[in-house]
């Protein structure tokens, strides 16, 4: 694990991430695995439907990037889901393949038929779910889970016990359930699930310690983004010792989505200092594939993938965008397969003009010409309420030269 905030020419993040006062307050596990749920929770984004071929393409690209586990779907949903999982299992990917299952023997049998390595055994434990949706007590949940966890493990599957809506569970329900399963049917790991994305990073840290203390199991964190904290809560869980983070590419998922795969990869590698094997420069290929297949465009200001992340209009410091990007950005654009870009508009400065002249090979200007051109560029930006195209810039340049 690295203890540095800087890697020459690649990134320069806050050194305070690594000061002993901060590091000593964390209990980072030696390694963290990414379990990506795009093919299940990502497809739960209303209106998103992936074909079998789409799922194979997505899983293959994720494997290339270094995702450790792929939750390839829930076979109970449709025969097409089951077929997609079977085909992905046969690809011989490095990633382990998981399915999503209710606490039902038939769902475990389907996981086995699909050739999966592991299974996420989901049961409700949040109090609103138990009380209103299911009319179950924690004992009902325990009775349904016990034999199914044991059956899955006996069949050689890696069993993740996934009591969802964990962050809205009553403490006594979660404690009783954890004790019960540890006595009679210990799984391989346990999920803490912020189904409604409504817990703070501090609460999640507390819960990781609490559930680890009760079970001694590896912790898997699965969060949603309803308060804009999906990634922050997963990072907090890791800081408290969680070993597996669940993600969805492009932050897809129910409602506001799940913790975004690409943001977690950068967070783990750069902000926490894990020496990961992720191919960060391939992330835009996955991002573009997801946007196309899900038909959900990437927001311009989306962390890691947004088109606007490495574009600079504001004049101050513009000369560094291309030549010394870590002055202007926390990461070099090339780290994530991108390029810096200088654009012209209302907020341009003298250096922006010099940069564009050079980029387009338009020759030299006197200081007075440059000042006049900057004025015209700003006026055009204000009038258009947008950026200038290269053609518009060249036209203004010709006006300035012709006026001489
Ligand atoms: C928080 C969540 O929503 S978890 C899962 C979210 N994902 C999905 O819903 C995936 C898409 N869903 C689907 O395609 C369908 O809803 C299916 C195929 C999963 C289920 O379809 P349905 O035939 O409508 O099943 P239905 O919802 O009636 O449930 C069937 C039974 O499973 C039971 N059940 C539901 N969840 C669980 C669970 N986690 N563990 C055990 N049993 C469960 C129900 O109580 C019900 O039991 P009953 O028949 O004794 O009443
Ligand atoms: O809500 C769901 O879709 C099922 C479980 C889950 O992924 C979650 O609780 O976040």
Encode pLDDT of 378-393 as tens digits.
Answer: 999 999 999 999 999 9
Question: Ligand 1, atom 24: nearest CA belongs to which residue?
Answer: 77
Please check the confidence at residue 191 and state whether its pLDDT lies above 80: yes
Please work out whether the CB of residue 262 comes within 6 Å of at least one atom of ligand 2.
no
Pairing of strands 96-102, 118-124: parallel
Question: Ligand 1, atom 7: nearest CA belongs to which residue?
Answer: 44
Pairing of strands 69-71, 33-36: parallel
Which of the 8 DSSP states describes residue 193?
Answer: E
End-to-end alpha-carbon separation of the chain, Å? 61
Q: Tell which residue, 81, 90, 150, has the closest CA to residue 121.
A: 150
Question: Ligand 2, atom 10: nearest CA belongs to which residue?
Answer: 195
Q: Taking the alpha carbons of 62, 64, 68, 72 in that order, is the dihedral positive or negative?
A: positive
Atom of ligand 1 nearest to the CA of 134: 45
Residue 18 — very low, low, confident or very high, per pLDDT cuts 50/70/90?
very high
What residue has token string 């999503």? 100
d(CA 343, CA 325): 15
CB 126 within 8 A of CB 169: yes
Instruction: Give residue 272 CA to ligand 2 midpoint distance, Å.
Output: 27
Closest ligand to C-alpha of residue 168 is 2
Please work out whether the CB of residue 232 comes within 6 Å of at least one atom of ligand 2.
no
Over residues 10-16, the mean pLDDT reads: 98
Please work out whether the CB of residue 220 comes within 6 Å of at least one atom of ligand 2.
no
Instruction: Give residue 196 CA to ligand 2 midpoint distance, Å.
Output: 9
pLDDT score recorded for residue 135: 97
Question: Ligand 2, atom 3: nearest CA belongs to which residue?
Answer: 41
Instruction: Give residue 132 CA to ligand 1 midpoint distance, Å.
Output: 15
Residue ranges per structural domain of the chain? 6-294, 311-403
pLDDT score recorded for residue 315: 87
Please work out whether the CB of residue 195 comes within 6 Å of at least one atom of ligand 2.
yes
Polymer length of the chain: 404
Which of the 8 DSSP states describes residue 175?
Answer: H
Q: Taking the alpha carbons of 207, 275, 160, 58 in that order, is the dihedral positive or negative?
A: positive
Instruction: Give residue 170 CA to ligand 1 midpoint distance, Å.
Output: 22
Please check the confidence at residue 323 and state whether its pLDDT lies above 90: no
pLDDT score recorded for residue 387: 97
Residue 317 — very low, low, confident or very high, per pLDDT cuts 50/70/90?
confident
Please check the confidence at residue 98 and state whether its pLDDT lies above 90: yes
CB 99 within 8 A of CB 114: yes
Please check the confidence at residue 404 and state whether its pLDDT lies above 80: no
| Distances, alpha carbon 391 to alpha carbons 164, 295, 344, 395, in Å | 55, 31, 12, 6
CB 149 within 8 A of CB 162: no
204: which residues sit within 8 A by CB, 6+ positions away? 167, 192, 194, 221, 223, 233, 234, 236, 237, 240
Q: What ipTM does the predicted assembly reach?
A: 0.93
DSSP conformation letters of 324-350: SGGGT-SB-GGGGT---EE--STT--H
Q: Take residue 237 and report the two structure tokens written for it.
A: 């869980």
What residue has token string 């993740």? 160
Q: Would you call 200 helix, strand, or coil by DSSP?
A: coil
Encode pLDDT of 20-74 as tens digits.
Answer: 999 999 999 999 999 999 999 999 999 999 999 999 999 999 999 999 999 999 9
Q: What is the pTM of this model?
A: 0.95
Atom of ligand 2 nearest to the CA of 122: 5
d(CA 331, CA 352): 21
Encode pLDDT of 164-187 as tens digits.
Answer: 999 999 999 999 999 999 999 999
> 132 burial class (0-12, 13-18, 19+ CB within 10 angstroms)?
exposed
Residue from 102, 123, 126 to probe ligand 1 pocket by mutation (most atoms less than 8 Å from CB): 102
Q: Which CATH number fits domain 6-294: 3.60.20.10, 3.20.20.70, 3.40.250.10, 3.40.50.300?
A: 3.20.20.70
d(CA 314, CA 341): 12
Question: Ligand 2, atom 8: nearest CA belongs to which residue?
Answer: 195
| Distances, alpha carbon 243 to alpha carbons 210, 269, 270, 272, 353, in Å | 15, 14, 17, 13, 50
CB 43 within 8 A of CB 78: no
Residue from 35, 38, 42, 44 to probe ligand 2 pocket by mutation (most atoms less than 8 Å from CB): 44
Please work out whether the CB of residue 254 comes within 6 Å of at least one atom of ligand 2.
yes
Q: Would you call 401 helix, strand, or coil by DSSP?
A: helix
């Amino acid at each position: 694990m690295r203890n540095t905030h800087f890697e020459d020419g690649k990134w320069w993040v806050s050194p305070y991430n690594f000061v002993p006062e901060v590091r000593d307050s964390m209990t980072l596990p030696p390694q963290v695995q990414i379990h990506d749920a795009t093919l299940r929770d990502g497809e739960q984004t209303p209106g998103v439907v992936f074909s079998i071929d789409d799922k194979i393409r997505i899983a293959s690209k994720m494997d290339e990037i270094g995702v450790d586990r792929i939750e390839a779907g829930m076979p109970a949903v449709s025969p097409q889901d089951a077929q997609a999982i079977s085909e992905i299992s046969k690809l011989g990917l490095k990633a382990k393949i998981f399915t999503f299952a209710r606490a039902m023997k038939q769902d475990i049998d389907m996981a086995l038929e699909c050739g999966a390595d592991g299974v996420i055994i989901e049961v409700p434990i949040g109090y609103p779910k138990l009380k209103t949706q299911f009319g179950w007590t924690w004992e009902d949940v325990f009775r349904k889970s016990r034999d199914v966890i044991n059956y899955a493990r006996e069949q050689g599957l890696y069993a993740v016990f996934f009591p969802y809506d964990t962050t809205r569970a009553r403490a006594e329900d979660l404690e009783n359930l954890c004790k019960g399963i540890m006595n009679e049917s210990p799984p391989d790991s346990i999920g803490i699930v912020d189904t409604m994305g409504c817990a703070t990073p501090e609460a999640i840290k507390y819960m990781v310690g609490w559930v680890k203390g009760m079970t001694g199991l590896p912790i898997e964190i699965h969060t949603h983004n309803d308060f804009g904290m999906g990634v922050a809560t997963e990072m907090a869980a890791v800081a408290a010792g969680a070993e597996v983070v669940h993600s969805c590419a492009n932050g897809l998922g129910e409602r506001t989505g799940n913790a975004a795969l690409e943001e977690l990869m950068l967070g783990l590698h750069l902000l926490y200092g894990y020496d990961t094997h992720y191919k960060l420069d391939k992330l835009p290929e996955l991002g573009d594939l997801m946007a196309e297949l899900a038909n959900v465009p990437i927001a311009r200001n989306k962390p890691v993938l947004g088109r606007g992340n490495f574009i600079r209009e504001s004049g101050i410091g513009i000369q560094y965008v291309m030549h010394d990007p870590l002055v202007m950005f926390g990461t070099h654009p090339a780290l994530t397969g991108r390029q810096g870009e200088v654009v012209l508009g209302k907020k341009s400065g003298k250096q922006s003009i010099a940069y564009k002249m050079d980029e387009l090979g338009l020759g030299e200007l006197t200081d007075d010409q440059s000042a006049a051109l900057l004025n015209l560029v700003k006026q055009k930006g204000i009038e258009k309420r947008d950026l200038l195209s290269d053609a518009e810039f060249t036209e203004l340049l010709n006006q300035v030269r012709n006026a001489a």
